[in-house]
Copies of this chain bind each other. A is one copy, B any other.
Amino acid sequence: MERDEPAGSPAEALGGRAAAPRVGILMGSDSDLPTLRETFAVLEELDIPFEATVASAHRTPERVAHYATTASERGLEVLIAAAGSAAHLAGVVAAHTLLPVIGVPLKGGAAGGLDALLATAQMPRGVPVATVALDGAANAALLAARILALKDPQLRRRLEAYRQRMQARVEEADRRLQA
């Protein structure tokens, strides 16, 4: 099973070379890559194979539609889409698939990213997007992990361990404060 094997280097994970990516990540521009490296890092820490793609809802709409339409049959289980300003990417992806789609609104537009948050979250009835916080790249990975863990007990245990490390970090910070 893919979770018992190491996920390989990030470079391998990208481009679909890892066996059986379970999460597909779309970004509107490669300028969004620094933020999304947090998503990559958390998925790797949780040993979840993934792939990543640059595709723009407005500049390459057919590319996005094709990616989303074929995602399920290619074995992907959760899609993550990150975009800023009039952030349509997650919505367009969700319109072309029945997989769960996680939207990551990105800061940088007018009103401090509020435009991206509203454009991602305020989807019409019928086509849901699971919106995380502005620049919430790590949480997008953790939400994908919670979804995948529903049918993957080993991932569930890794997620539990991740949570304990997170709590330990808070407690360690408190110990430093008291020292």
Contacts and interface: CB of A to CB of B under 8 A. Distances in A.
Contact of A94 (B14, B58, B85, B128): B58
A108 B136 CA distance: 14
A26 to B, nearest CB: 10
B127 A58 contact: yes
Interface string A133-170: 11010111011001111110000100110010011001
Contacts of A62: 65
Interface string A115-128: 10111111111111
A111 B121 CA distance: 13
A113 interface: yes
Nearest to A84: B124
Oligomeric state, in copies: 8
A164 to B, nearest CB: 11
Given A119-B122, A128-B140, A129-B132, A98 B58 contact: no
Contact of A95 (B61, B148, B178): B61
A132 B77 CA distance: 19
Interface residues of A, number: 86
A8 interface: no
Interface in A30-80: 30, 33, 52-63, 65, 77
Contacts of A107: 110
B147 A121 contact: no
A146 B150 CA distance: 13
Interface of A: 14-16, 28-30, 33, 52-63, 65, 77, 85-86, 88, 91-92, 94-96, 98-102, 107, 109-115, 117-134, 136, 138-140, 142-143, 146-151, 156, 159-160, 163, 166-167, 170-171, 173-174, 176-179
